[in-house]
Amino acid sequence: MCQAIVYLARDGQEKPEEIMRDVILLEPTEEGVRLSTFFEEAQTVRARLARIDFLKHTVTLVPEEE
């Protein structure tokens, strides 16, 4: 299986914050980024995609500017 861990990187933070594990689907929406897993309800984060590391199965998002 190829689930990913999604992180949110905010300015001033030393290390990105983990916001969801075992993500199977990432969809850009008008509200931000929708994250889905097998067994949890989907979550939408007001952010944009910054980086995907396929080798480490990680996705890094950055908050959308207001």
Residue 23 lies in a domain: yes
**Structural domain of 44:** 4-60
What is the pLDDT, as a whole number, of residue 63?
A: 96
In a domain, 10, yes or no: yes
Q: Which residues contact 37 (CB under 8 A, 6 or more apart)?
A: 3, 20, 21, 22, 23, 24
- Chain segment 4-57, per-residue pLDDT in tens: 999 999 987 889 999 999 999 999 999 999 999 999 999 999 999 999 999 999
30 in any annotated domain: yes
In a domain, 51, yes or no: yes
pLDDT at position 2 is 82
Whether residue 65 lies inside any domain: the answer is: no
**pLDDT over 60 at 66, yes or no:** no
Q: Is 8 inside a domain boundary?
A: yes
Q: Decide if 20 is inside a domain.
A: yes
Domain count of the fold of the chain? 1
| pLDDT at res. 1 | 66
> For residue 66, is it within any domain?
no
What's this model's pTM, rounded to 2 decimal places? 0.90
